[in-house]
Structure 1
Amino acid sequence: MNENADANFIRPTHFLAVQITDPIIKGKMKEVQDCIVAKESILENVVVGVDLAHITLCLLSLPNESTVNEANKILQRCRDDLMSILDGEPMNLHISGIGHFDKRVVFAKVVPGDNEEKLKLFSEHFDKEFALLKSTNPFEYTPHVTLMKLSKLRSFAMKKKIKQISPKHFEDIEDMDFGHQNVKTVQLLAMSRKKATEYYFCESDISVEESNVETTEAEYAEE
């Protein structure tokens, strides 16, 4: 990133996401992480806890309560458009295969198909609706579930020790089939606020099921 890009960078504080709750998927995520760490133990420092598992749809910069409230209102207004995208069909995402972004992020892939395309349409819609609240994101949107990432490293010493996550560590399991996630809600999550559980603090959510059953805070605590 050059100096001009640094000057224009808007750091995200929140994000819109789909939570991964399926226990089979989370169990296989842990298997993959353990397999990689077994080959290079220092990579334990870059493992993303499976209880944080999600698929990001849009990064947002909401520096104060006013912008958080505005984002909550926009999200609620988006529901009818998202339901139109789904066209009466449930969203069931197939998670299969392992990839990486420049050896700095290892992730589980969302299998291409109708549901993955609808997920991309969700992201595009949010890009438009939240245009004034978006964070800087120079990368093309690729739906994924993060397994490990170097950005978890905070100390300079650790950053010097861990330069990359070698794809050789997972080449023998890169076709792992993680399973299927039924998408019930889209959530507005805070990056820095955690609940008693290990998942992110949910500012608000919208149902993307035809039944329109709201998810309560208590249910998040149980997942």
Structure 2
Amino acid sequence: MNRAAIVEFFARLAEANPAPETELEYVNAYTLLVAVALSAQATDVGVNKATRALFAEVDTPAKMVALGEEGLKAHIKTIGLFNTKAKNVIALSQTLIERHGGEVPEDRAALEALPGVGRKTANVVLNCAFGHETFAVDTHIFRVGNRTGLAPGKTVLAVEQKLEKRVPQPFRLHAHHWLILHGRYICKARTPECWRCPVADLCRYRPKTPPPAERARKPG
């Protein structure tokens, strides 16, 4: 995808959704960090269902440590890998208290040094909590980047680096949200909904998926 096509690609996504936001629910930078850590291999819907009551009670590292690992497990037991995630959330909360005065650091290296926090989580926190122009590549963005030709790469990091080079202003701040939402609701893994895609003509994916009615008419 050339530069003109990339500008048009994001212009159309921006027109359809001028102010995209993460679908994870949070009340401050700390609860955002916890929500993103919990969302690994889980859906945002499932995380939100588990954290609504939790975040109503617990919105600081000190409160989380006071709640304790078993107390946290009771809230998040519907989320996959909840035992490991509970251990990590308590540990990262203790680290925030000990090293950062209970505040979430606005620094990638410091974030990635927290238990259970990887590059993607750090990118989401930097973008959503602090307004950094980062590209948090999840499975949706990895798929969209490769399928469309926007940012092809064999690894998550390769796709992130390609986006870093190729996404122009004024689209950089919201780019990863547009791509996640596009992958989640239109450019789906099994059957991309090309017939209603606003950027289908810019995308290299072939063959395009026809509308459901047309597919239903085809034999076999």
**TM-score where L is the length of structure 1:** 0.25
Bigger RCO (CA 8 Å, 6+ sep): 1
Larger Rg: 2
**TM-score where L is the length of structure 2:** 0.25
Which protein has the bigger helix share? 2
Which protein has the bigger strand share? 1
